[in-house]
Chains A and B, each alone.
Chain A
Amino acid sequence: MIEYRSIGKTFADGTEAVGDFSLVLPSRTTTVFVGSSGCGKTTLLRMVNRMVDPSKGQVLIDDVDIATRNKVELRRSIGYVMQHAGLLPHRTVIDNIGTVLRLNGASRDEARDRSLAILPTVGLDAKQADRYPSQLSGGQQQRVGVARGLVTDPNILLMDEPFGAVDPIVRDELQQELLRLQRELDKTIVFVTHDIDEAFLLGDQVVILRTGGVVAQVGTPADIIAHPADDFVRSFVGLDKGHRTLHVEEQDGVRVVVDGTGKATGVLES
């Protein structure tokens, strides 16, 4: 379980990224921080592995204040996936995946074996193992990034807009893969995105943020759509433009779902 207690963060140049933030992230669930640029979502994420330390307040993992834990050791126990995978360009795929294993003291063979074993989990072929990142497509690179985050079997996985840099079709695939992974592995995932649809798809708990880390609303996707807290949320989620207010029209015996702008978006199943 991850807990933010009265977290505040002001950077050296004076920008206040987060004012006062408190939240509990239950174990084995996916929490998504969503908001526009500058809302502090990435800052909050990076506090969990102490890439950023709060100016005030505490972050606790399983009731232990992480400020008391050694940074390097903490980071080796948490999986981290970033937007452009952040792969080491001079190492092969398999070496990249095994990096943290080696840092933790595993032998070359052990690291290689465990890395190979995780490839199918992220949908990669063993053939890719000895390639270099630049020889892979963007989507494949992201998969390697996810594999690297998972290979140590951490309890917590941090994901910072991991699917932002790939095209929509690949993004769909990767999102579905993540959902499948979560069903199989049950990790505590903290996910950051600016895309509300992605948040609704992946999140058990969605946190909509305004500038300064101010929580606009927290809840399940269904909660938020059904009971938006205010106009900001309504606008951010897209409830104000009519795309999400749906009604049904009969068309030759088929019930067509039409949105508020008159666009036909789907069909109602019997």
Chain B
Amino acid sequence: MTWFFDNIDMIRELFVRHAWISVVSTVIGFVIALPVGWYANEHPRLRGVAVAIVGVLYTIPSIALFVLLPGILGTGFLSVINVIIALSIYAAAVMVRSAADGFGSVSPAVLDAASAAGYSRPQRVFRVELPLAGPVLLAGIRVVSVSTVSMLSVATLIGVSNLGSLFTDGFRRDFQTEIVVGILGIVVLALVLDALLVLAGRLLMPWTRGQKTVSRLRPLDDSVSKAVQAP
């Protein structure tokens, strides 16, 4: 345990680095996936193509993508950019499905009512569809966040430092404690980010506070009236 306190600066630095790379990748993936998922839901034929592409991307092992991207994109090999791009691609791949499902879960009756109340198309998308798809989107981004934090650790093998570096360093030095610290750090980071996401969800979607888990999505009556009456 003394090792932990002796090296706490290094550990904190790795933790922060791991955090920002994970968060940036997750956010980029989310931002890409949202419109793609929305279009995929609107156009069922596109959905099939999107699911297929996303499926292929998801099949590619992450370490392979970390190695191949610099070659494909011409970016510097040890650059963090590669890793961020690769992780964003995975995040987007998983998120597209969530996004399509989320938008698909909004009741057509509600959309109809919104149009009838006088919402323009763009208003309806941002003020009705997006909020109501929220719970499913949140569930998706939580999954992506955890897996991104975990996946990043492998990038240490191509020289991008993060909490995973504690694994390689610990292994080389035959020092188990270091590895355990690395695992704990990743788990803690994943839990913290998850808690933040849940909190954000509760703040942004006050109408879902009463519900326990989102297994099946049914917009509550007051969410409909709130969304429809406040253009």
Q: Do chains A and B touch in the complex (CB under 8 A)?
A: no
Residues of B near any A CB (own CB < 8 A): none
Residues of A within 8 A of B (CB): none
